[in-house]
Amino acid sequence: MTRFHFDCDPGHDDAVALLVAAKLLDLTGVSTVFGNSNITNTTRNALAILEAADLSIPVAKGIGKPLVDNAINAESVHGKSGLDGANLPPPATKPLSISGPELIINTARQEDDLKVIAVAPLTNIATAIVDAPDIRDRIREISIMGGSTTFGNATPAAEFNIHADPEAAAIVFNSGIPIRMVGLNVTTTFGITVTQVQSLLATSGKLARAIGGALDFYLNKQQSLYRREYAPVHDVCAVAPYTHPALIRHENMHVDVECTGKLTRGQTVCDQRRLSAAEGLAPPKASNAAVAVQADGKSIIDLVMNTLQSYP
Ligand code: BDR
Ligand code: CA
């Protein structure tokens, strides 16, 4: 049976995705990485979420900065702690003594049917691939929340997870491991509304109330920063293909990561031309990714709400 490794930077939507994945899939472990906040905060948040959910899934602290640049963060969206509004108690559990990339390598070598869910900058996964190239034949698929077939959010062209470490993303997309990608072109088309936040806050389950508090903070940021009336739950869209395969439609295409463009660094360049070779045009490269092009947003939000409310 397929088992899953989860790489994240919690992060409001990471918290939601982790809770959905932990409830519905067989998770072998979690690695954390810098991203929405610094590595100390994202690791503490991952441990706190799992502890509050009474889940004993091992967590390895990953890498705190990108392969080339200095670390950026998304505290303007997720707050100083990376998970503002949740007010979870500080976790008593500690991360493993091995690093995030080491956990990915060990798991890939142990598991015969492993898929990786990656909802953060791809630094841990790229490092694991560079340090242990044999895992390229061991990982059956990597499901990435990142990039876009259209616009960005960190810059007009680039989505945050890819923009935070374009060199790492390029290594992963060119690794030969099958990639499933869901980007902003799909993840921003639906989200959690104020009514749904209120429904979480009124739930008897303590964890659902904590996540309701977190999503209240996050929705306010989405309203003030992006003038959106709902809070996208980007990261759960990398989980849904494994729990409910009919909810997101993908198309196979070639994806490259722009690492040098002055205006476009971190952009995922998705070849949607459906072109057969033609003189004078850049020839199409073989597909390396199944890219999300459309989603049943209502059903994904129902899945999120029902799962969060099922936690005691
Ligand atoms: C992605 O960036 C992060 O802020 C979110 O957690 C998500 O993974 C969306 O661009
Ligand atoms: Ca994330």
- Annotate 33-91 with DSSP letters as a single string: -SSSS-HHHHHHHHHHHHHHTT----EE---SS-SSS-----HHHH-TTSSTT--PPPP
pLDDT for 103 equals 98
Contact yes or no for 159/281 (Cβ under 8 A): no
Contact yes or no for 37/9 (Cβ under 8 A): yes
Residue pLDDT, tens place only, 272-281: 998 887 778 8
- Distance CA(120)–CA(140), nearest Å, equals 19
pLDDT for 34 equals 98
Contact yes or no for 50/59 (Cβ under 8 A): yes
Pocket test for ligand 1, best of 117, 119, 236 (most atoms within 8 A of CB): 119
Distance from Cα 160 to the centre of ligand 1, integer Å: 6
- Distance CA(33)–CA(43), nearest Å, equals 8
Ligand nearest to C-alpha 12: 1
Pocket test for ligand 1, best of 73, 125, 145, 233 (most atoms within 8 A of CB): 145
pLDDT for 219 equals 97
Ligand nearest to C-alpha 234: 1
- Which ranges of the chain would DSSP assign to H, the alpha helix? 12-24, 39-52, 75-78, 100-110, 123-131, 160-163, 166-173, 184-187, 194-201, 206-226, 240-243, 297-310
Ligand nearest to C-alpha 163: 1
Catalytic residue among 234, 244, 250, 254: 234
pLDDT for 274 equals 86
CB of 219 within 6 A of ligand 1: the answer is no
Closest atom, ligand 1, to C-alpha of 145:
8
Closest atom, ligand 1, to C-alpha of 119:
8
- In eight-state DSSP terms, residue 205 is S
252: which residues sit within 8 A by CB, 6+ positions away? 287, 289, 290, 291
pLDDT for 36 equals 97
- Distance CA(309)–CA(262), nearest Å, equals 45
Residue pLDDT, tens place only, 132-189: 999 999 999 999 999 999 999 999 999 999 999 999 999 999 999 999 999 999 999 9
Contact yes or no for 175/127 (Cβ under 8 A): no
pLDDT for 19 equals 98
Closest atom, ligand 1, to C-alpha of 14:
6
Segments of the chain with pLDDT less than 70: none
pTM (predicted TM-score): 0.97
